[in-house]
Amino acid sequence: MLDHAPRPDLSAFAAALAAAGFRGQIEQDSALRAAMSTDNSVYQIAPDLIVAPRDATDLVTLMAVATQPAFIGLALTARGGGTGTNGQSLNHGVIIDLRRHMNELLELDAAQGWADVQPGMVLDDLNDRIRASGWFFAPETSTSSRCTIGGMVSTDASGKGSRVYGKTSDNILGLELAQPQGLLDSLS
């Protein structure tokens, strides 16, 4: 049986985000919605709203607002580079654009061999930034100029060299997860 529950009011959701202190962009521009309706697959699904959080605090704010009773049932879909081949970053509802602002290398510890990055950092950008240290993040995907680390984590990406260096999950030491209550450190 199909659920015919009313869809949450997106204008009210956008207003609630702003009132809660969300500092990123909240957009319904038709050109941006059209661009976000496709990825590297054959699928096309137009989102209703695109939000681009500035940082992890914005993600926590977004999650807290989304759990309010008026917004239960609102689809939230994270998006990085949109390089998935199975439509993973496509959905109605809200697309969370993590590439726009959350794309930085936060810390590199070359002595210990680890880097702390935001989920919207593109693989080639990361490897360019750490190359001088002698390190690189494996595996090498065919879409490395566009795919993001967050997207690689969510799909456990593999590619050229993965038999030697492992897939994405083999190269993750820990994750920081945004929840309505705050950030949670999760060690793999």
Q: Taking 70 as the threshold, does the pLDDT of residue 170 lie above it? A: yes
pLDDT at 4: 55
pLDDT tens digits for 19-50? Answer: 999 999 999 999 999 999 999 999 999 999 99
- Binned at pLDDT 50, 70 and 90, residue 1 comes out as very low
- Binned at pLDDT 50, 70 and 90, residue 11 comes out as very high
Query: Where do the H-state alpha helices sit in the chain?
Result: 10-19, 30-35, 56-66, 123-130, 149-155, 162-165
* Alpha-carbon distances, residue 40 vs 74, 84, 97, 112, 162 (angstroms): 24, 5, 16, 35, 21
Identity at 5, one-letter amino acid code: A
Backbone angles phi, psi at 144, to 5 degrees: -60, -20
Distance CA 102, CA 58 (A): 10
Distance CA 53, CA 80 (A): 12
pLDDT tens digits for 113-167? Answer: 999 999 999 999 999 999 999 999 987 889 999 999 999 999 999 988 888 889 9
Name the helix (H) or strand (E) containing 116.
strand 114-117
* Alpha-carbon distances, residue 86 vs 78, 95, 120 (angstroms): 14, 16, 19
pLDDT at 5: 58
pLDDT tens digits for 68-103? Answer: 999 998 999 999 999 988 898 999 999 999 999 999
Distance CA 24, CA 71 (A): 19
Q: Are 186 and 63 in contact (CB under 8 A)?
A: no
